[in-house]
Structure 1
Amino acid sequence: MSDRTETTHARTRRLPQINPVWLLLAALVAGIILMNPGFVEPTGYMNFLKRAAPLAILAAGQVYVITSGGFDLSVGSLITLVVVGSSMLTNNDPAATYWVIPLMLGMGLGVGVVNGLVVCFLRVPSLIATLGMMITLNGLAFLWSGGAPRGYLPDTYRFFGRELVRDVPLVGFIPVSVIVLFVVVGILAWLMHRTNLGRQVHAIGDNPVAARLAGVAVNRVRITAFMLSGLSAAIAGILLGGFAGVSTDVGSGYELQAITAAVLGGAQLLGGRGSVFAAFGGALALTAIFTLLNFLGLPQPVRQVVQGLILIAAVALAMHRRKQTGT
């Protein structure tokens, strides 16, 4: 009897494990289809992916920092600074796009480097360091724009957020932002799950002392994680500027949404566990929840309450699982 039980458990362990976030996403999509049958048409689900793209990219970068055992609260303010800075620098000149976008990407990497250096060498907890950076970037955006951004983003800049690739077989069209989404998430997933960087990120989050003794360059890996998070925020800002326009609060709340999406995908806030694909699924699920709330006509405060409850529940579930497995 014991042998049969052990055999059954062994077979169960060999079965492919499905992350619950995908089951949640499937249920949410089914609910959306019931309320809006047009969602099954290319226009419906492509627009959904377009709306989800900035958050999904942001979550895919945030999961590096979370898996390494930290937080990055500065990404929402960085999005705002990217959008405001781009509008000020392009100054209604379409030709300026070609140097402004690389500059904004470089700024995202630079903010990530500063965050990483403060955390690694000044020994400031990432929560405090990135909170300070968040306040600093918000102040810079306000000073730069005077509280009211001037000018607009030219069409050459907004191309990435609003344009469509037409005459695509089967679906008819694909938003450029969706192409950017899959390219960025694909690259970040490859780095996390197919390279030594991803293994080192997980090792540091699980036990930084053991990782250092094993020869892992802990500080370098942590700084790299913050750089990827900053870069993803800059890309998300470029997309949001493309279809949301210029505003001094365009990135407000995105830092918590990205953390919620990553945790919803199974990332552990104490580090050591995280998946780019699961964070991508968490971002889609969160966007689907917001879509359902909009269909129900519920106000913005309800959306914030739901997001907070989801974050608390996801963290509680993750801690429960960690306690059960003893990891």
Structure 2
Amino acid sequence: MKYAIFVVLVLLLAAIALANPFILEPAGFLAFVKRAAPLVILAAGQYFVIVSGEFDLSVGSLVTVEVVVAARLIDGNEAATWPVLALLLALGLLVGLVNGVVTTLLRVPSFITTLGMMLILSGAVFLWTGGAPRGALSQTFRIFGRDTLYAVAIMVVVGVAAVLLTRATYGRTLIATGDNERAAALSGVRVTRTRILAFVISGLAAAVAGIMLGGFAGVSAQVGQGLEFSAITAVVLGGVALGGGRGSVVAAMGGAFTLEAMFTLLNLYGISGALEYTLQGVIIIAAVAAGAVQLPRLTPTPRKGDAHAS
């Protein structure tokens, strides 16, 4: 089933409700949605990269950079909030553009490109802060992640935009590129531009998630740590093929909600948070294994007559 992930999500929410009935109340459910919102946005951005047949491992470090830079430049000054917000969005676009250009034009595998970018951004943050970020975020900045209505509204806007983009011509060319790059190019698809734009979208999504996490979690040099793997896990949990060419952005966002529900359930039952990484690893390995099993079924088998003809 294309959207089977939502069945899993409902079951997990039911399990959470047994341990904490507060989630059944509007305030409790909205609090859960607010916590999940940054990961949902990251998963939406990561979807575009993965379905094109690539990876983006830089989003976690980019989130950290966004928060640290915002705190340093704003430093409690309300008047600086909006210019800094514009700068953060531009930074996300720039990082995505660099990732896309290096991957497509220089032919560097996206795993290596974005891993390198992750290390560059992490090193830059440590060099600039010495491991202890300085400055303070303004109240206006914090409202985007701290206020439930703002956080939910931003997530909904990003989600709707992602769905509309996948249903446009670009979404179809993206799927075609991830499914068979050469066939897509022969049919007139601008493969390079399509993939670069996917990385740009991922970078922009990471910038938005960083802005929200700054308000929600505060300033920390570890605020984005591990989010790149959480985003990838959410996407594959939603049934998106790691090799590209198959998947739904709605299901990817559903995967993010489901992953957040899993983390919430572990926390409610007092299970160590360290198990979260184990859980993500199991999900990714299972997704790759499932894709490997399904691949032969998706490959057309030559008919007897065709074999004799060849």
Identify the residue that residue 227 of structure 2 maps to in structure 1: 254
Cα distance, 1:315 vs structure 2:
2.5
| 2-structure distance, mates of 1:42, 1:144 | 42
| 2-structure distance, mates of 1:163, 1:39 | 18
CA contact (8 A) 1:88 1:145 kept: no
| 2-structure distance, mates of 1:280, 1:268 | 14
Q: Are residue 188 (structure 1) and residue 172 (structure 2) matched?
A: no
1:110-259 matches, cutoff 5 A = 110-164=94-148, 175-192=149-166, 194-259=167-232
Please state whether the residue corresponding to 1:152 is helix, strand or coil. coil
Q: Are residue 54 (structure 1) and residue 38 (structure 2) matched?
A: yes
Q: Are residue 277 (structure 1) and residue 250 (structure 2) matched?
A: yes
CA contact (8 A) 1:66 1:274 kept: no
Write out per-residue CA displacement over residues 213-261 of structure 1, whole angstroms, 9 at most, x where no aligned residue. Answer: 1111111111000000000000000000011000001000000000000
Q: 1:78 aligns with which of 55, 62, 69?
A: 62
CA contact (8 A) 2:54 2:243 kept: yes
| 2-structure distance, mates of 1:64, 1:324 | 25
Write out per-residue CA displacement over residues 273-311 of structure 1, whole angstroms, 9 at most, x where no aligned residue. Answer: 121100110000000000000011011221211121122
Q: Which amino acid aligns with 2:275?
A: V
How many residue pairs end up in the alignment?
300
Cα distance, 1:18 vs structure 2:
4.6
Q: Which amino acid aligns with 2:154?
A: V
1:283-298 matches, cutoff 5 A = 283-298=256-271
Identify the residue that residue 90 of structure 2 maps to in structure 1: 106
Please state whether the residue corresponding to 2:132 is helix, strand or coil. coil
Identify the residue that residue 37 of structure 1 maps to in structure 2: 21
Give the stretch that moved more between structures: 19-28 or 281-290: 19-28
Please state whether the residue corresponding to 1:267 is helix, strand or coil. coil
Cα distance, 1:324 vs structure 2:
2.5
Distance 1:270 1:137, change over 3 A: same
Identify the residue that residue 28 of structure 1 maps to in structure 2: 12
Please state whether the residue corresponding to 1:47 is helix, strand or coil. helix
Q: TM-score, normalised by structure 2?
A: 0.94
* Unaligned stretches of 5+ residues in structure 2: 301-310
Percent of aligned positions with the same letter in both sequences? 53
Identify the residue that residue 93 of structure 1 maps to in structure 2: 77
| 2-structure distance, mates of 1:139, 1:20 | 40
Cα distance, 1:31 vs structure 2:
0.6
CA contact (8 A) 2:2 2:239 kept: no
RMSD: 1.2
Q: Which amino acid aligns with 1:280?
A: M
| 2-structure distance, mates of 1:158, 1:47 | 16
Q: TM-score, normalised by structure 1?
A: 0.89
| 2-structure distance, mates of 1:184, 1:85 | 23
Cα distance, 1:142 vs structure 2:
1.4
Identify the residue that residue 169 of structure 1 maps to in structure 2: none
Identify the residue that residue 308 of structure 1 maps to in structure 2: 281
Identify the residue that residue 171 of structure 1 maps to in structure 2: none
| 1-structure distance, mates of 2:266, 2:281 | 14
CA contact (8 A) 1:85 1:144 kept: no
Cα distance, 1:118 vs structure 2:
0.4
Please state whether the residue corresponding to 1:300 is helix, strand or coil. coil
| 2-structure distance, mates of 1:143, 1:81 | 12
Please state whether the residue corresponding to 1:229 is helix, strand or coil. helix
CA contact (8 A) 2:36 2:256 kept: yes
